[in-house]
């Protein structure tokens, strides 16, 4: 009996099989026929499997190629240099950034050792970096490379270990970023910064000298008054001494009483005797005043060195304001209202400088005003001391309000203003953890408000 193999499912290649009718080949009994059918089915299955695997393989191959192209383009686009080498330092892969650094083709580089490109002095460091991964961490360091055209380029390197699928270390990958330019730029910046700091220190010193000059002018004025009346009194006392000596000489020489009486009237001996006491008192008062001024001066040191001292706020404001007033020869009316017992821990000289600056500016602002006035007020607000310096002067132009604490900002003519006073005052107050701000008063004039923490 002949039988045609019936196929319901047709895998690829089926046409061949299905078209074979057994009578064309063999005449088979039933068992042989079923065996053949099995074999052919099996072949069909294997063939289909093969085809499936092939498609799969092609797809995976395409994916792999795509991934490789992607990785290569990423590596090529990295501007840092990248070197992958074996544990022995033999280079296996580099990126274009490295090739352009050393000025070579990839084929010439692969197989050479990384140490060949590092300057001799840095080879030890290169070996250290190559040991990365032994301790399980990335190592960092700077390496100088012998670059193209005989140059030497310093690179900040990072080195990580390469591991195979079984976590065995088989090499290292190094990445590096050129820092020679960066270093030069940094050095130039550092140098510029140092010069700037030096210039700044010089300016601060100049401003201190200017402050000192103002202080000296104020002190000179302040001393002038007691010194002149001490002088005056001493001249008068000397004149009295001569009259008394003259009178006593006549008495000792035994002049007659009438002559002594005439001399007594002529030399105004009685007036002299009653004047001596107030003259001496005045002289002592003058000397005390001079001694007070000198004591105040001693407390003022413009340097920040030494311990902070308790500074009596009322005395600080009075001294600063009076010295500023005297130095400027100002006719402004000075009003000082400070709550009693306010004390801050500070370097008195520095605080003095701040308030002389503020009062100085206020006095400048009230020049030419009717009833020129400057107010100073100090009070305590919780853990802060608030000191306000206000004037009824010109005020500050709104568009200048944001700039007046900047160095060199001045609206005064050359020689009158340096534009450093408020900047220095701001820095000093900031150093004490305080703040200083300014506003125009509704009634005209400017108001500076200094807040100082009590535990500064
Ligand atoms: P300088 O007094 O040398 O100009 P400052 O830093 O002390 O420098 O002051 C900067 C500027 O702030 C002054 O030129 C002035 O324009 C302004 N200013 C400061 N205080 C007052 C004030 N009380 N009233 C009006 N303007 C002021």
DSSP annotation string for 404-438:
TTSTT---SPTTT--S-HHHHHHHHHHHTT-EEEE
How would you class 242 by CB atoms within 10 Å of its CB: exposed for 0-12, middle for 13-18, buried for 19 or more?
Answer: exposed
The answer for 376, left when phi > 0, alpha when psi is -120 to 50, beta otherwise, is beta
Strand 169-178 with 81-86, pairing: antiparallel
- The answer to whether the CB of 23 falls within 8 A of the CB of 33 is no
Is pLDDT at 165 greater than 90 in this prediction? no
Average pLDDT in the chain: 86
CA separation (Å) from 22 to 45, 47, 84?
20, 21, 64
- The answer to whether the CB of 175 falls within 8 A of the CB of 197 is no
User: In angstroms, rounded to a whole number, what is the distance separating the alpha carbons of residues 126 and 114?
Assistant: 8
Confidence class for position 109, pLDDT limits 50, 70, 90: very high
- From the CA of 360, give the closest atom in ligand 1: 2
The residue contributing the CA closest to ligand 1 atom 13 is 410
In the prediction, which pLDDT does 178 show?
Answer: 87
CA separation (Å) from 18 to 28, 38, 106, 176?
17, 14, 57, 66
Q: Which has more confidence, 326 or 318?
A: 318
Q: What token pair was written down for 196? A: 């700037």
The residue contributing the CA closest to ligand 1 atom 19 is 361
Average pLDDT over residues 203-225: 75
The residue contributing the CA closest to ligand 1 atom 14 is 410
Is pLDDT at 1 greater than 50 in this prediction? no
In the prediction, which pLDDT does 411 show?
Answer: 92
Lowest mean pLDDT segment, chosen from 67-81, 287-301, 398-412: 287-301
Per residue in 371-402, pLDDT (tens digit) is: 999 999 999 998 999 999 999 999 999 999 98
Q: Which of 354, 410, 437 to mutate to test the pocket of ligand 1 (most atoms within 8 A of CB)?
A: 410
Q: Which has more confidence, 276 or 216?
A: 276
φ/ψ of residue 343, rounded to 5: -135, 135
Give the 3-state DSSP-derived string for 84-95, with helices as H, strands as E and coil as C. EEECCCEEEEEC
Burial 97-116 (b: 16+ CB within 10 A, else e): bbbebbeeeeeebeebebee
User: In angstroms, rounded to a whole number, what is the distance separating the alpha carbons of residues 321 and 328?
Assistant: 11
The residue contributing the CA closest to ligand 1 atom 2 is 417
How would you class 145 by CB atoms within 10 Å of its CB: exposed for 0-12, middle for 13-18, buried for 19 or more?
Answer: buried
Residues with CB under 6 A from ligand 1: 357, 361-362, 365, 391, 393-394, 396, 404, 409-412, 417-423, 446
User: In angstroms, rounded to a whole number, what is the distance separating the alpha carbons of residues 339 and 124?
Assistant: 71
User: In angstroms, rounded to a whole number, what is the distance separating the alpha carbons of residues 291 and 284?
Assistant: 10
Per residue in 117-129, pLDDT (tens digit) is: 999 999 999 999 9
Average pLDDT over residues 209-217: 73
The residue contributing the CA closest to ligand 1 atom 3 is 417
Average pLDDT over residues 250-260: 89
Is pLDDT at 303 greater than 80 in this prediction? no
How would you class 345 by CB atoms within 10 Å of its CB: exposed for 0-12, middle for 13-18, buried for 19 or more?
Answer: middle
Q: Which has more confidence, 303 or 347?
A: 347
**Distance from residue 422's CA to the centre of ligand 1 (Å):** 7
**Distance from residue 98's CA to the centre of ligand 1 (Å):** 58
**Distance from residue 439's CA to the centre of ligand 1 (Å):** 12
The residue contributing the CA closest to ligand 1 atom 26 is 396
In the prediction, which pLDDT does 16 show?
Answer: 47
Confidence class for position 302, pLDDT limits 50, 70, 90: low
- The answer to whether the CB of 373 falls within 8 A of the CB of 366 is yes
**Distance from residue 354's CA to the centre of ligand 1 (Å):** 13
Is pLDDT at 248 greater than 90 in this prediction? yes
Confidence class for position 5, pLDDT limits 50, 70, 90: very low
**Distance from residue 421's CA to the centre of ligand 1 (Å):** 8
- From the CA of 358, give the closest atom in ligand 1: 20
Is pLDDT at 134 greater than 70 in this prediction? no
- From the CA of 418, give the closest atom in ligand 1: 3
Confidence class for position 288, pLDDT limits 50, 70, 90: confident
DSSP state of 150: G
Average pLDDT over residues 165-170: 84
Lowest mean pLDDT segment, chosen from 55-64, 110-119, 317-326: 317-326
Is pLDDT at 10 greater than 70 in this prediction? no
Terminal CA-CA length for the chain:
117
Share of the chain above pLDDT 90, in %: 53
The most confident of 305-319, 367-381, 397-411, by mean pLDDT: 367-381
**Distance from residue 411's CA to the centre of ligand 1 (Å):** 7
Lowest mean pLDDT segment, chosen from 66-75, 134-143, 342-351: 134-143
> E strands within 119-277?
139-146, 152-163, 169-178
Confidence class for position 199, pLDDT limits 50, 70, 90: confident
In the prediction, which pLDDT does 64 show?
Answer: 93
Average pLDDT over residues 329-340: 92
Chain center to CA of 131 = 38
In the prediction, which pLDDT does 7 show?
Answer: 43
Is pLDDT at 222 greater than 80 in this prediction? no
Is pLDDT at 144 greater than 90 in this prediction? yes
Q: Which of 422, 425, 436 to mutate to test the pocket of ligand 1 (most atoms within 8 A of CB)?
A: 422
Is pLDDT at 354 greater than 70 in this prediction? yes
In the prediction, which pLDDT does 219 show?
Answer: 75
In the prediction, which pLDDT does 74 show?
Answer: 85
Q: What token pair was written down for 382? A: 């919780």
CA torsion, points 137, 141, 147, 152, in degrees to nearest 10?
-170
Is pLDDT at 13 greater than 50 in this prediction? no
One-character DSSP codes across 244-291: HHHHHHHHHTT--HHHHHHHHHHTTHHHHHHHHHHHHHHHHHHHHHHH
Per residue in 425-452, pLDDT (tens digit) is: 998 899 899 999 999 998 889 999 999 9
């Amino acid at each position: 009996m002949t039988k045609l193999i019936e196929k319901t499912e047709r895998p690829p290649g089926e046409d061949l099989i299905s078209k074979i009718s057994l009578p064309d080949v063999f005449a088979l009994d039933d068992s042989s026929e079923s065996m053949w059918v099995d074999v052919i089915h099996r072949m069909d299955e294997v063939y289909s499997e093969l085809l499936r695997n092939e498609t799969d393989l092609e797809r995976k191959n395409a994916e792999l190629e795509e991934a490789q192209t992607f990785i290569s383009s990423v590596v090529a686009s990295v501007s840092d240099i990248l070197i992958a080498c074996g544990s022995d330092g033999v280079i296996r892969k580099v990126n274009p950034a490295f090739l352009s650094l050393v000025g070579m083709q990839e084929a010439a580089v692969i197989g050479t050792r990384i140490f060949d490109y590092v300057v001799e002095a840095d080879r030890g460091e290169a070996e250290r970096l190559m040991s990365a991964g032994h301790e399980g961490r990335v190592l960092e360091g700077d390496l100088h490379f012998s670059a193209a055209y005989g140059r030497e380029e310093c690179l900040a390197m990072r080195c990580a270990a390469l591991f195979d699928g079984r976590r065995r270390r088989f090499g290292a990958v190094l990445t590096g970023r050129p820092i020679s330019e960066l270093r030069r730029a940094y050095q130039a910046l550092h140098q510029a910064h140092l010069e700037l700091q030096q210039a700044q220190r010089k300016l601060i010193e100049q401003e201190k000298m200017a402050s000192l000059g103002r202080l000296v002018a104020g002190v000179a004025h302040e001393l002038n008054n007691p010194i002149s009346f001490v002088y005056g009194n001493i001249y008068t006392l000397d004149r009295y001494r001569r009259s008394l000596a003259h009178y006593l000489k006549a008495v000792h020489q035994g002049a007659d009483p009438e002559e002594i009486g005439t001399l007594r009237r002529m030399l105004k001996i009685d007036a002299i005797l009653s004047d001596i006491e107030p003259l001496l008192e005045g002289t002592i008062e003058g000397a005390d005043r001079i001694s007070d001024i000198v004591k105040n001066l001693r407390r003022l040191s413009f340097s920040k060195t030494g311990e902070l001292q308790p500074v009596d706020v009322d005395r600080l404001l009075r001294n600063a304001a009076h010295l500023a007033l005297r130095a400027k020869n100002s006719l402004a009316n000075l009003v000082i209202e400070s709550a009693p017992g306010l004390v801050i821990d500070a370097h008195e000289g520095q605080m003095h400088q701040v308030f002389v600056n503020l009062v100085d500016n206020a006095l400048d602002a009230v020049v030419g005003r009717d009833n020129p006035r400057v107010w100073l007020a100090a009070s305590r607000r919780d853990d802060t001391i608030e000191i306000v310096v206000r004037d009824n002067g010109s005020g500050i132009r709104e568009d200048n309000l944001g700039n007046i604490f900047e160095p060199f900002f001045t609206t005064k003519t050359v020689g009158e203003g340096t534009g450093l006073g408020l900047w220095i005052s701001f820095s000093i107050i900031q150093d004490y953890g305080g703040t200083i701000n300014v506003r125009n008063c509704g009634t005209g004039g400017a108001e500076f408000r200094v807040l100082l923490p009590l535990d500064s």
